[in-house]
Structure 1
Amino acid sequence: MASKDEYVFTRDFQDNTRIWLLDVHDKLKDAQLDGFDVSLDAAPPSQILPSRVTLRHWNVKESVPEDLIGVYDIVHVRFLAYVLLNDEIPELVAKLFSLLKPGGYIQWGEADIQTLRVDKSTPDGSTERTTELYNLLAIQDPRLKPYWIAKLLELLADGGFVEIEKDSQDAPPHLAFILHEAGLMIHELIARKTKNEHMARELKRLLPAVVEETRQGSYATSLRYTVIGKKP
């Protein structure tokens, strides 16, 4: 939901493989499902979307469109960790609050990058290059090291939500490994998109070594947060 220039990833076939609404569509048979993003370049053609799914342009750094205020029973938010800076979150919470009807719910899911660690499935597995890779990202771009995720419960409470619940869990090792492998493409996307030449060179240097460490059973993982809250 950042502007195209600020988005840390690319907008192409590699970056387009995640549309949560289509998963939900198969589970909620009667719901109207609306998706919002600053760019629809990553979306399928509107002509092939299910009839109950619509996609619409909205930059969350701009005002909420008047026709969306108080419209939704549920607002689902995910994966803004790499998009917004820490001090931008309270204003976003206020905007999401305004989207909901009274009695509506927010559901927000994020991976807590602050808790990121590198595990290994065998005692002699190497984790050096994988650790170096994630340290590089944290140093080079503040969006890649957000600290607001662990504070989501407090941020929602400050924004007027009630009956707030937070769940934080480690993924089981077999899923954590799969998520790690899927996430490796993120670093390739950043290497192609970044204007930081040093970062691009380092990512290209590190990625083959990280892939080899992954083959040996090493993987990065972190806590995953889900927070829900109700608009009074």
Structure 2
Amino acid sequence: MASKTDYVFPRDFIDNTRINLMHHIWTKIFGYNIHPKIPSEAANLRIADVGTGTGIWLFDVRDKLNQAQLDGFDISFDAAPPSETLPPQVAFRHWDVKSDVPEDLVGVYDIINVRHFGFVLLNDDIPSVVAKLISLLKPGGYLQWGEADMETLRFDITKPGNKTDNLVELFKLLAVQDDRLKPTWVRHLPEIFAKAGFVDVEKDMQDALPHLAFIFHEAGLMIHDLIARKTKNEHMARELRRLIPAAAEETKQGAYGTSLRVTVIGRKP
């Protein structure tokens, strides 16, 4: 996880709402919060959500697994609800996934979930992060990791003549300004899992139905506006403010960006 000072998003109520909305669309696209091949019926499971953000994944999991202990890890909980509002099974704890694993967490978890680190970690960070995550798991425990594969980004249109020029330029702008915004490691996650020692590695790849892809795209447009407000790069902020209204108009006319989305799972022997 990026530090509080260099995290690309503002962790305000608008950003938090975006996170929650995109979580629910993601769940509709895949049809599950926990991959159906991951055993989750046992009593007293210990489950962790790393990079938990608003905690929304944990809250959804709790609805079905109300006997599990659910722990959310992040470097900041500015995006999370007040601790006084949390269900009794849910606990939050500070941990930066780039730092050493606390000794009391080694071999503790049955299931670990990670999602949307594509705008947080650099390509070279991923193998060491996966190595840390496997150390958190019990033998037989599972890691589940979900990401959008931005290398498959495309722009779909709903009718001939729809323009996408501003949308294309908007997405390109972010990719050239920050290496975290053009992840190339997503398609290699299965091999990275295997090298870290995971077995029974599987990849679930989904191309969202058009109506879900469009809604996800609209939610994603908020990312550009949020970065425009947070970035210290004046040129980038100026260009984002120029492009966002034009890209929003192209969206209104029926153009949208989408990509393949993947969930990779692996079991610790």
Interval of TM-score (by shorter of Structure 1 and Structure 2):
over 0.9
SS at match of 1:3: coil
1:38 equivalent to 2:75? Answer: yes
Residue 98 of structure 2 corresponds to 61
Residue 127 of structure 1 corresponds to 164
Question: Aligned partners of 1:68, 1:15: CA distance in 2, in Å?
Answer: 30
Paired amino acid for 1:70:
G
Q: Is the 8 A contact 2:203 2:263 kept in 1?
A: yes
Paired amino acid for 2:2:
A
Q: Under a length normalisation based on structure 1, what TM-score does the superposition of the two structures give?
A: 0.98
Q: How many residues align?
A: 232
Question: Aligned partners of 2:104, 2:15: CA distance in 1, in Å?
Answer: 30
Shift of 1:29: 2.3
Residue 175 of structure 1 corresponds to 212
SS at match of 1:103: strand
Identity rate of aligned residues, in percent? Answer: 69
Shift of 1:114: 1.0
1:118 equivalent to 2:155? Answer: yes
Question: Aligned partners of 1:25, 1:183: CA distance in 2, in Å?
Answer: 26
Unaligned runs of 5+ in 1: none
Paired amino acid for 1:2:
A
Shift of 1:168: 1.1
Residue 52 of structure 1 corresponds to 89
1:103 equivalent to 2:140? Answer: yes
Question: Aligned partners of 1:188, 1:66: CA distance in 2, in Å?
Answer: 40
Residue 210 of structure 1 corresponds to 247
Question: Aligned partners of 1:71, 1:164: CA distance in 2, in Å?
Answer: 20
Shift of 1:44: 0.4
Shift of 1:25: 1.3
Residue 181 of structure 2 corresponds to 144
Deviations 1:116-151 (A, max 9, x none): 111111111111100110011111111000100000
Residue 188 of structure 1 corresponds to 225
Residue 87 of structure 1 corresponds to 124
Paired amino acid for 1:59:
D
Q: Is the 8 A contact 2:138 2:268 kept in 1?
A: yes
SS at match of 2:10: coil
* Pick aligned residue for 2:259 from 219, 222, 227: 222
Residue 4 of structure 1 corresponds to 4
SS at match of 2:193: helix
Shift of 1:30: 1.6
Superposition misfits of 4+ residues, deviation over 4 angstroms? none
Question: Aligned partners of 2:66, 2:161: CA distance in 1, in Å?
Answer: 49
Paired amino acid for 1:45:
P
1:26 equivalent to 2:66? Answer: no
Q: Under a length normalisation based on structure 2, what TM-score does the superposition of the two structures give?
A: 0.85
